[in-house]
Amino acid sequence: MAKRPASAPVTSDLLGLQGLSASALRELLTATRELATRGVKGDELRGHIVASLFFEDSTRTRTSFAIAVKRLGAEVVELIGAGSSVSKGETLIDTARNVEAMGVSAFVVRAKQAGSAAMIARAVGPPVINAGDGKHEHPTQGLLDTYTLAEAKGRLEDFDLTGLRVAIVGDIASSRVARSAVAAFSTLGAKVVCVGPPGMVPGGFAALGATVGGSLDGVLPAMDAVMMLRIQFERHGEGKTPAPAGAEAPKASPIASVREYREFYALTPERAAKMKKGAVVMHPGPINRGIELDEAVADGPRSVIMRQVTHGVLVRMAVLRWCLGAR
Ligand code: CP
């Protein structure tokens, strides 16, 4: 039974960046900059307990939310799929409502199914932050990507990305990161091009404000930033008819071979050398080194990948304050 009617205006959740206004994005990014420059004033969220429900694996998002909660003086309780009663068949909604009954101030939710965070948000009272739902959205990742791009290109003052050109490269169809990043970059004025094998770049990204198509070698010299994506082998074949019990699920790979993929879409040192002066390399992680991104580029002078990770904590602090009304 839904606690909030589907039509109810919800202002305290963060479920995605698609549809978020430029002023809302700037508010969150400005709060992140304030945290970076001035730090936190006292234990702003003391007394709050944040429930971190991770039904899918994570290193960066889960850890950085936990650190963000602690830095704000609140406490975090963590539940993961394998150690919870979800593994016994309990639904995500029942799980969230039971945790709510114990008394928590907010939920951070990661799940395999697109729409899970929104579904939980309709069923519980406290604010819900989407920490990645299937192939749908990963809003805090999109914010930290935007903040990192703004920092690298000297746009921290007003977060106006007009005139910047960004390529997002690889398995875009499987990527919630791409959906959130395209929404935020485009809303703030950047031009985004999505590049990858035809089976990995859905035309629907044009509706989010991106240009779709082109070759990596063709677009690379004009880009101010390139965001490389991992091939999400584990998501290929999702949405197809389930295999009968006991049979191996069919895999529908959109690429013929990793070797062929690398030939056209990997960011090698030779390709990185063709990028323009000051252009940066981004990756949301986890990186599959030697597939989409070579070691020398991932750890090279153009890489801002570790800045992205550092900004993850600040962005999540800003989002927690925003959702809990402490802004
Ligand atoms: N970028 C990202 O979401 O990484 P994790 O899956 O490790 O959280």
Note whether 128 and 283 are within 8 A (CB): no
Residues 189 and 247 in one domain: yes
CB count within 10 Å of CB 78 equals 16
Nearest atom in ligand 1 to 110's CA: 8
Residue 200 Cα to ligand 1 midpoint, Å, equals 20
In a domain, 11, yes or no: no
Residues 132 and 145 in one domain: no
Asked whether residue 182 is assigned to any structural domain, the reply reads yes
Residue 176 lies in a domain: yes
CATH code of the domain covering residue 93:
3.40.50.1370
Residue 56 CA: which ligand 1 atom is closest? 6
How confident is the model over 41-80, as pLDDT tens digits?
A: 778 999 999 999 999 999 999 999 999 999 999 999 999 8
Determine what percent of the chain is predicted with pLDDT higher than 90: 80
Instruction: Judge if 120 and 225 occupy the same domain.
Output: no
- Ligand 1 nearest atom to the CA of residue 285, by list position: 1
User: Is any ligand 1 atom within 6 A of the Cβ of residue 312?
Assistant: no
Residue 1 lies in a domain: no
Q: Which residue type does 159 have?
A: F
For atom 3 of ligand 1, the residue with the nearest CA is 61
Same domain? For 157 and 293 the reply is yes
Tell which atom from ligand 1 comes closest to the C-alpha of 59: 7
Ligand 1 mean position, distance from CA 136 (Å):
14
Q: Closest Cα to atom 5, ligand 1: which residue?
A: 58
Q: Is 132 in the pocket of ligand 1 (CB under 6 A)?
A: yes
Of the pLDDT bands very low, low, confident and very high (cuts 50, 70, 90), residue 249 is very low
pLDDT at 207: 87
Q: How far is the CA of 57 from the centre of ligand 1 (A)?
A: 8
Q: How far apart are CA 54 and CA 61, in angstroms?
A: 10
pLDDT at 295 over 70: yes
98 lines ligand 1 (CB under 6 A): no
Quick one: tokens of 223? 């880009």
pLDDT digits (tens, 9 = 90+) for 158-168: 999 999 999 99
**8, part of any domain:** no
Whether 141 has a pLDDT exceeding 60, the answer reads yes
Distance 271 CA to ligand 1 centre (A): 26
Pair of tokens at residue 252: 């529908």
Q: Is the CB of 60 under 6 A from ligand 1?
A: yes
Residues 252 and 122 in one domain: no
User: Do 66 and 96 sit in the same domain of this protein?
Assistant: yes
Across 3-12, 211-220, 294-303, least confident range: 3-12
Please check whether residues 174 and 295 belong to one and the same domain. Answer: yes
Range of the domain at 189: 140-306
Residue 9 lies in a domain: no
Q: What is the arithmetic mean of pLDDT over 270-278?
A: 98
Residue 76 — φ and ψ, nearest 5°? -120, 135
